[in-house]
Amino acid sequence: MARLYDAIEPEVISMSMLQHAVESSRADGESLVIPKDEKLNFSEVNVLRLDFRNILRMENLWLFSNLTKLQMDNNIIERIEGLDTLQKLTWLDLSFNNITRIEGLDSLTELTDLSLYNNRITIIENMDSLKKLNVFSIGNNQIDDENSIRYLRRFDNLRTLCLRGNPFASKPDYYIFTISHLPQVHFLDYKLIDDAPREEATKKYEIQLQQLITLEEQEREKEKTGEDQAKQYQLHKDAFVENMDQNQLFTAMFKDDVEGQKLILVPGSDELMTQFEQKCNAIVYSMFEFGLKEKEIRDREIEDFWICVNEAKNENTRQAAAIVDEFKTYRSTLFAKEDLEQQGVSPELASEYDDALTNLRNKLMALEITLVDQLEETIQTFERNLAEMVSNFTESMRANFSQLRELQAFFNENIINLCVATVERIMKGELEDEFPDDTRELFTDKDTIMNACQTSDEVHRTKIDQREDEMFSRISNWLTTMMDNIHEEEEYKRNRKRIIEISRLIDYLRADIEDM
Amino acid sequence: MTDPVGPEIPNNTNGHELTHETDNDGEEFTNINVESSDFQTTLTNEQQEDILPSKPKLQPIIAPDMFPPPLVTCDNPEDYPESYRKNSEKEELILTFVENFRRQYHYIYRDRKPILLTPLNECGVPKFVCTTIQPTMLAFSELFQWNLGAEFIADHLNYELLDPAHELPKTLWSPTKVLADQRGNCFDYANLLCSLLIGAGYDAYVVSGYATREVCYMDTTRLPNPYAKKKHEERMEQIKAQHKKYTVKPPKDLTSKYDAYMHQRRLDQIQAEKNRLQEEENKRIAEIEKPLPDPLYGIRVHAWVLVLPGKREVPEAFFIESTTGHAKATNDPEYLGIESVWNHQNLWVNMQDCSNGCESLQFDLNDQARWEFMFTYSTNLRGAVTTSLNTLGGSAILDEEEEKPTVETTQKDIELPPSWVLTLNITPKDFQKRYPHSRKTYFYKKTRVEKYAPYSMKDGIVLKVSEFADYDFKELIYVTQKHEHRHDKLEIREHDVRTNMVYENYLPGRSDHLKEHTYGFGPEFERIMIYYDKARLDGLARRHETILELTDYFINRDDFLEYRQAIFEPRPKKFGPADKDTQRPIISITERYGRNLQLNANDDIHELVYAIKENKFVMTYHRDSNHITPSTRTFCKPANWNDKAFTIQWNEDLQDTYQADEEFKQMSKRDLYFKMLHLIEQEEEVIKRVRKAEDETRDLQSRRQQEELSSDLEISVYDIDRNEKSKIYRKLLQQKADEEKRKKEIHDVDYLAPFLAAIGNPERINVQLAQQLRLAAQRDFKDRSIRKANLMQARYESEIQELISKQQWYQKHQIGMSKEDELEYQRLCQEAQFRLHILEERLKRHKELATEKYMQLENKLNEDPRLKEPYIVR
């Protein structure tokens, strides 16, 4: 049983405790044969045991980024926390603690074994991300709820489950309920589940299970469509034409347009409206399609570029590696000769080797310089081409946007005309009763109505401008980011790395002979 | 009638006339103005007598040797069926037609050689060649394909030459006799093959013509060896020169163009010199191989087979040389001319000029200018359309120059009688034997080929190809043997005599999964073994062993091991037999691994060298695609590594690491230490594996020797002829059945027999006798039962007596008896009681059964027909 924590002083996870824990896990007498490293590297530790230590809070564990197994049983932990960085964890033991709620496990996607035995948990929840869960021990807790069992249905890999010692487990139909609702589980409460009782149980709960399955399927479908939509949206976004496949822009134009919404209630505006909508949508849709097409072209271009760049890099690397290999065979024959003589390196040999090394270095450097030149040129061409594409895209889109604006102007003119006519008619006393009150206010005189029309026009124009600006700024951003990245990675960083590698190699090979 | 020849004859204009003629029962009809230069048999079955005399031009000219005296060429003509010994009426009639045809042909083309029409068969009876073809489809799927069928015929028969070589044979044996004797001349070959091919649905013809001496003599020594290994065509690797948009510019080429030019020129010169030499060599060889001039060139008679396109998806006409089974093009220079071709329905005479051999011959047999047919058919074979159904002009022949009107007769189709030859038959046994006496030898250019039927040789050999360096088959250079049904699964063995290397190929199914084995003899031994790697648990694909090296190649292993090479120290040279027991010390073992994609390239070992002699481990990791150098790590074994008592102390000098990149993970001292310990353990393991591999190769050698000695052949369970086991089993079954039968006979033993014998086995008996017999039988049975019961009773009693006496003896000597004796006594008592019990049981059973048996006997006696009217006993 979990102990009461006021009986003993709780402890804090400190550096010395961790060090002690790591070292104690190693074999006895090891320190005698292996000199200690200056500093313990926590990120290399895979297994950590922190049991029976009266720990109250889970903290200071973020250094163990490669931890796969963590044992913290028999402490007085009350909250699961501080596990977000331990993403490689597959085994977590938190049994015999004072945990009341399942939480803080969201980042442990690799977890297969989880023990929460003997805690104070009432509901099984917040475990959706543990897709690989295989063994789950939740015995001796306060679970008293069918829904918690149903919740476990989502773990397809769950094979072993312990529920013993919960209030729910003492109910009469606990066993058959569990085995019928969790067909993936093979072992329940340390016992293998036989097929025959399971079949019986399944029959008993057939109707409920059917309903459950239908619900789950619906959910899954929903999820899937949601995913698809998100994917689609992402695609559109990458093509810079998101929200342009339907009438979103048109709706947006009128959404924030208070005046406009009133204006379109003017009799006779229906026709104008539909016309406007149709034309507007046609233009927007053509822009949308054009955008997708352009994206495809750009993608192909980028793919082409990368294929060629990688080819060139691989070819170059291959050549360089061949040169290095050749040198190594040369070296081994050289030293083999040396071995025969059974004496130190003669100065002639050393100088020969030194010359060969210089030669090797020159060759490798020459190769690298060639590659740098080649890549530079290719990247330049690529940049030019891509910039051209982007500007084409922008030009074409700009033309479309101006069309939209014209359309808006035309629409506005028509509306003004209509409104003026309407005002005149109202003045004359016709059309008395067909207006809602707030609309009628606008039509009291000509100036008001003109103002309203202008405001509406303004709103619409702003919307269009906004969309245009957004599109253009994003595409130019995209281009600069990508090109900067390419320059940075392919020209600068790659080159640096290679040069360092060459000098490392030369140094290493030279040290070789100096040792002798 | 305008044109009496060919299938178009019965056109509309003469259709009426023809029917009319038929109605008028043979009224003579003169055909006017026949433009065709063709000649034709003009006979009908009814009218020939009338016609012949009516044509003065066609007076028979009988040469003295036209019908040579019957020449019986078989030993026992009387054993042959009648169709062989006699001609039916219909055949006689056909023979007359043919004779007429021949005479006309001879008359018109005096300078042409006679054609083979009615040779004698083996019983000395003239038979028309078309009827000698008996289209047959045999029950061997192999004979359904022309190439396999032709090969079979070539293999199955022994070839005999024509004598004399420039004349047509006088006799043509029936295909049945050819098959039975397994020998024949070229006509027999062609005839038989044609029968089979037509039976298999081909449009095949026997060709009678002229060929070169080499073909006529079936001299294949100038042909290249058909079993020569096909050389690997080196596939040119096609590097796709796709020029992509962003392909980088190649680096500047700074080499001298002039140098390259000069180099190329020098290479060209060398190549030209080589070509010249090669050409000279070729010429020289051609000179050697050229056959001697042939005095009989062009008049050597030969027969072969022609296959025309149209059936069985044959795309174009070709010849089959029936003596060798090879296909030849129709313009093959070996064939010098064609006189006639025939199948089972018709015969065509070649009217084309053969001065250029067969090169320009056309094989459209409907073309009357080129091929003259003997019979026409209304439903023509060659697919021409005819309008009249049952009439045709087997039209009269006109000599063109004479323009003599001939008699056009009205007649039905000339119907060839069915072939006089019996249906061909090859027994499965003969078919399997394939060659005469189960073996045959062929000679090709510098090659001798020996073929054997499966199971005929003890070592399972079916084919042996010996290649020689010279044309006289003296200097052997290469032997290829093919085996079948061997227990050790050996399929092919090649022996290169010059290098003394042997190459063996095995079928799957060996316990060691050996696939290929290449080895040599002599001290410089080197062997390459290739295995069925999928069948082997260790994935071994290839093993290469030389004196100082043992190299294994693996495929598809879970641990990604691909290669392991062990290098041995040279064995100190000793005289006397090399003792194989001492193991050669290992200098080093190298293992190479494939890329395990689940690891980083830098953590994935590529090569691991256990330098055993130097006490070192050299590890080379895989090269990351972004780096030009692989990381390496070297461990030196500490001095006391071998001593289990000491723990190994870690020391920085023990290892040396080169990392291609600073950013790569550094191993901690602890990891390095354990890595080294692990390597030391692993080394032991690897040495064990190498030793095992060594043993395995040695085992293989000895096993192969054993297998060579005990070369039994494998027999399929389905092969009832050869499978001894199944034979024994069947015999056993037979025996069992026999026994069963005998038992039944014994069971139905005749109970009256002894009594009948007592009265002298009469044929009949009377009532009294019957009564007596019955009584005697009953009495006898009773007596016997009583005797049996008495016997048992007596034994029972004597047993009891014995027991009692024993007991008495025991009571007397009870005191002072040893323990063993007492035990002995008890045992004896028990045995005696057991015997008593058995006897008692038997007696009881006998009593029960006796009455029952008596009743049975009575029933039988009551039902026995011999004891009833009319008392017939025998």
Query: What are A438-473's pLDDT values in tens digits?
Result: 677 777 777 888 888 888 888 888 888 988 999 999
pLDDT of residue B565: 92
Residues B627 and B540 in one domain: yes
Mean pLDDT of B717-736: 82
The shortest C-alpha distance from A473 to chain B (Å) reads 27
Residue B554: its pLDDT value, please?
93
* Stretch among B36-45, B60-69, B658-667, B769-778 having the lowest mean pLDDT: B36-45
Same domain, B805 and B681: no
pLDDT of B194 reads 92
**Contact criterion met (CB < 8 Å) for A41 and B251:** no
| Alpha carbon of B739: minimum distance to chain A alpha carbons (Å) | 55
Closest approach of chain A CAs to the CA of B590, in angstroms? 15
Which of B251, B625, B670 has its CB closest to that of A314? B625
Domain limits for position B857: 753-867
Q: Which residues of A touch B251 (CB under 8 A)?
A: 370, 374
Evaluate if residue A503 carries a pLDDT over 80: yes
Q: B628 vs A34: CB contact, 8 Å cut-off?
A: no
What does B400-412 look like in DSSP terms, one character per residue? TTTT--EE-----
Contact B315, B146 (CB under 8 A): no
Q: Is the pLDDT of residue B859 over 50?
A: yes
Instruction: Decide if B649 and A364 are in contact by the 8 Å CB cutoff.
Output: no
Question: At residue A316, what is the residue type?
Answer: N
Confidence of residue B762 (pLDDT cuts 50, 70, 90): confident
pLDDT score of B562: 92
- Tell me the chain B residues in contact with residue A340 when contact means C-beta distances shorter than 8 Å: none
Question: Are both B304 and B402 inside the same structural domain?
Answer: yes
Residue B25 pLDDT greater than 60, yes or no = no
| A47-49 sheet: strands from edge to edge | A47-49, A69-71, A91-93, A113-115, A135-137, A160-162, A187-188, A191-192
- Please indicate whether residue B378 or residue A84 has the higher confidence score (pLDDT): A84
**B647 contact A CB<8A:** yes
Q: Cβ(B445)–Cβ(B225) under 8 Å?
A: yes
pLDDT tens per residue across span A137-162: 999 999 988 888 889 998 999 999 99
- Above 90 in pLDDT, residue B279? yes
Domain extents in chain A = 4-218, 248-336+347-515
B383: left (phi over 0), alpha (psi -120 to 50) or beta: left
From A94-98, B570-574, B676-680, B722-726, the region with the lowest mean pLDDT: B570-574
Average pLDDT, integer, range A77-106: 91
Q: Is the pLDDT of residue B857 over 80?
A: yes
Q: How far is B244 from chain A (nearest CA, A)?
A: 7
Residue in B251, B658, B669 nearest the CB of A508: B658
Lookup result for tokens 């550096």: A15
Does B744 reach chain A within 8 Å, measured CB to CB? no
Give the end of a domain, one of B709, B740, B771.
B709
Instruction: Indicate whether B683 and B782 sit together in one domain.
Output: no
Percent of chain B residues topping a pLDDT of 90: 13
Quick one: B702 and B757 in the same domain?
no
| Residues of B in Cβ contact (< 8 Å) with A494 | 626
Go through B167-178 and write b for each residue having 16 or more CB atoms within 10 A of its CB, e for each that does not. Answer: ebbebbbbbbbb
pLDDT of residue A121: 92
Hey, is the C-beta of B650 within 8 angstroms of any chain A C-beta?
yes
pLDDT of residue B137 exceeding 90: no
**Which residues of chain B are within 8 Å of residue A321 when distances are taken between CB atoms?**
623, 628-629
Q: Does B662 touch chain A (CB under 8 A)?
A: yes
CA distance A30 to chain B (A): 9
Residue B547, min C-alpha distance to chain A (Å)? 21
Q: pTM for the full model?
A: 0.65
Q: Is the per-residue pLDDT at A64 higher than 60?
A: yes
Residue A334 C-alpha, separation from nearest chain B C-alpha, in angstroms: 17
Contacts with A30 from chain B: Cβ below 8 Å: 670
Q: What pLDDT, on the 0 to 100 scale, is given for residue A230?
A: 93
Smallest CA–CA distance from B251 into chain A, residue = A370
Which tokens belong to B554? 């693996």
pLDDT at A280: 87
Q: How many domains, in total, are found in chain B?
A: 3
Give residue-wise pLDDT tens across range A341-383. 555 667 777 888 888 889 999 999 998 998 898 889 889 999 9
Residue B391 confidence (pLDDT): 35
Contacts of B246 in chain A (CB under 8 A): 304-305, 307-309, 378, 381-382
Q: What is the mean pLDDT of residues B575-602?
A: 77
Same domain, B199 and B87: yes
The mean of the pLDDT values for chain B is: 79
* Residues B338, B207 contacting (CB under 8 angstroms): yes
Provide the pLDDT for residue A478: 92
B63 domain-assigned: no
Q: Is B627 on the interface with A (CB under 8 A)?
A: yes
Write out pLDDT tens, residues A246-274. 778 888 888 877 777 777 777 777 888 88
pLDDT average, residue stretch B381-398:
37
Name the residue facing A307 among B244, B650, B659 (closest C-beta): B244
A495/chain B closest Cα distance in angstroms: 11
Higher pLDDT among residues B789 and B45, named by residue:
B789
In total, the C-beta contacts within 8 angstroms joining chain A to chain B are: 85
Nearest residue on chain A to B658, judged by CA atoms? Answer: A508
- Model confidence at B170, pLDDT cuts 50, 70, 90, reads confident
A291 contacts A243 by C-beta, under 8 angstroms: no
> Are B139 and B208 contained in the same domain?
yes
* Range of weakest confidence among B487-496, B497-506, B631-640: B631-640
Cβ within 8 Å, pair B625-A502: no
The answer to whether residue B312 sits within a structural domain is yes
Query: In the numeric block, which tokens belong to residue A51?
Result: 């049991």
CB contact under 8 A, A308 and B629: no
CATH 3.80.10.10 matches A4-218: yes
Residues 483-522 of B with CB under 8 A from A: none
**Are B647 and A308 in contact (CB < 8 Å)?**
no
Check B248 against A308: CB less than 8 A apart. Answer: yes
pLDDT score for B101: 87
Question: A485: pLDDT confidence band, cut at 50, 70 and 90?
Answer: very high
Q: How far is the alpha carbon of B238 from chain A, nearest alpha carbon, in Å?
A: 18
pLDDT at B35 (0 to 100): 40
Flag if B627 and A29 touch (Cβ within 8 Å): no
Report the pLDDT value the prediction gives residue A449, as an integer from 0 to 100.
Answer: 81
For residue range B808-847, list pLDDT tens digits in order: 888 888 777 788 888 888 888 899 889 899 999 999 999 8
Mean pLDDT comparison of B498-507, B701-710, B810-819, B864-873, highest-scoring range: B498-507
DSSP output for A238-269: HTT-TT-SSSHHHHHHHHS-HHHHHHTTSTTH
Q: Mark yes or no for CB contact A33/B245 under 8 Å.
A: no
**Domain presence at residue B457:** no
Residue A32 has what pLDDT? 63
Mean pLDDT along residues A120-130: 90
On whether any CB of chain A is under 8 Å from the CB of B705, the answer is: no
Q: Answer with the one of B414, B445, B470 that is the final residue of a domain.
A: B414
Say if B22 falls within a structural domain.
no
Supply φ then ψ for residue A510, to 5 degrees: -70, -40
Task: Give ipTM to 2 decimals.
Answer: 0.73
What chain B residue is nearest to A324 in terms of C-alpha separation?
B629
Q: Which residues of A touch B628 (CB under 8 A)?
A: 317, 320-321, 323-324, 364, 498, 501-502, 505
Residues B694, B773, single domain; the answer is no
Kindly state whether residues B705 and B764 are assigned to the same domain.
no
Q: How far is A347 from chain B (nearest CA, A)?
A: 24
Q: Does residue B365 surpass a pLDDT of 50? A: yes
User: What value does the mean pLDDT take over residues B287-291?
Assistant: 77
> Strand order of the sheet with strand B326-328?
B326-328, B318-321, B301-308, B203-211, B335-342, B347-350, B371-373
Mutate to test the interface with A, among B614, B626, B628, B648 (most CBs of A within 10 A): B628
Among the partner-chain residues A33, A35, A382, the one whose CB lies closest to the CB of B246 is: A382
The 8-class DSSP code of residue B775 comes to H
Strand pairing category for A113-115 and A91-93: parallel
d(CA B737, CA B732): 9
Among A213-217, B15-19, B226-230, name the most confident range. A213-217
- Evaluate whether residue B283 is within a structural domain: no
Residue of chain A minimizing CA distance to B249: A374
Judgement on whether residues B410 and B490 belong to the same structural domain of the protein: no
For residue B604, which amino acid is it? Answer: D
> Chain B 209-268, CB below 8 Å of chain A: which residues?
244-249, 251
Mutate to test the interface with A, among B615, B622, B623, B629 (most CBs of A within 10 A): B629
Q: What is the pLDDT of residue B206?
A: 92
pLDDT score of B19: 37
Would you state the pLDDT for residue B385?
A: 34
| pLDDT averaged over every residue in chain A | 85
Tell me whether residues A504 and B245 touch, CB distance under 8 A. no
Element (H, E) at B504: strand B501-506
Using an 8 Å CB-CB cutoff, list chain B residues near A500.
661-662
Mind telling me how many Å the CA of B621 is from chain A's nearest CA? Answer: 13
Strand B561-568 to B632-636 pairing: unpaired
Q: Helices A494-515 & A347-428, crossing angle to 10 degrees?
A: 160
CB contact under 8 A, B673 and A34: yes
Give burial (CB, 10 Å; 0-12/13-18/19+) of B436. Answer: middle
The answer to whether residues B330 and B383 belong to one domain is yes
Helix (H, G, I), strand (E, B) or coil at B201: coil
Confidence class for position B665, pLDDT limits 50, 70, 90: confident
Same domain assignment for residues B639 and B774: no
The pLDDT score that the predictor gives to residue B749 is 67
Q: What's the pLDDT band for B541 if we cut at 50, 70, 90?
A: very high
Bridge partner list, B444:
B447
Choose one of B360, B393, B414: the last residue of a domain.
B414
